[in-house]
Amino acid sequence: MPTLTQVQLGKNGITENFVTTLKEHFKKHSNVRVSVLRSYCRDKKELKKIESDLLDKLGKNFTSRSVGYTIMVKKHRKEVE
């Protein structure tokens, strides 16, 4: 089973549907590559803000790093209750 999948982030931005789609991908994969389209983000400062907003909506068990206009999101472990 592959551990990496790819999702595109377009003009609509980070919506509830986008976050739900990401969480569905994390049920089967440990890493997700989010490609930010240039129609949504044009500079690196804005990309860092998008990255932090995405992590806020996903939760505390996720980390990320950006390379170019791609954000690599990784899930650490299952949530502890």
* 39 within a domain of the structure (yes/no): yes
66 close to 47: Cβ distance less than 8 angstroms: yes
CATH of the domain at 36: 3.30.110.60
Angstrom distance (rounded) from CA 47 to CA 56: 14
Model pLDDT for residues 31-76, shown as the tens digit of each residue = 999 999 988 888 889 999 999 999 999 988 899 999 999 999 998 8
- Range of the structural domain that residue 9 is part of: 4-75
Q: What pLDDT, in 10s, does the model give residues 20-29? A: 999 999 988 9
CB 29 within 8 A of CB 49: no
Q: Is residue 81 part of a domain?
A: no
Its pTM stands at 0.85
CB atoms inside a 10 Å sphere around CB 18:
18
Give the separation between CA 59 and CA 45, rounded to whole angstroms: 22
CB 47 within 8 A of CB 28: no
Task: Tell me how many domains the chain contains.
Answer: 1
